[in-house]
Amino acid sequence: MTLWRDRLRLAVERSHATHAAIARQAQIAPETLSRILNDAHAHPQFETVVRIAGAANVRVGWLLDEPVRGIELTDRERATIRAAGVILFDAFTQR
């Protein structure tokens, strides 16, 4: 097995979604998903792997075990930090 395939399988398992749901969201047949996860489909198209990763809620970089640069924030955390920044900016620019 390849690292990316092992990690893709792990992501699908951790998503707690059925294979049918992942396949539907990735716009592929459930049989195709099964073949990719079980290494029966040796060279799937990159776009297909990207769609499966998205359906499993992981980044392709994670599949490839790329190092994380900096920190990762959720959309809510980004919005909170942005709002705090605006408040601080306003507080320090009002004289």
pLDDT in tens, 23-82: 999 999 999 999 999 988 889 999 999 999 999 999 898 898 887 777 777 888 888 988
In 10 A of CB 70, how many CB atoms?
Answer: 5
Say if 81 falls within a structural domain: no
CATH of the domain at 28: 1.10.260
Say if 93 falls within a structural domain: no
As to burial, measured by CB atoms within 10 angstroms (0-12 exposed, 13-18 middle, 19+ buried), residue 74 is exposed
Say if 82 falls within a structural domain: no
pLDDT of residue 66: 84
Say if 84 falls within a structural domain: no
Range of the domain at 7: 3-70
Report the number of distinct structural domains present in the chain.
1
For 6-26, what is the mean pLDDT? 96
Give the contacts of 13 (CB within 8 A, at least 6 positions apart): none
pLDDT of residue 71: 73
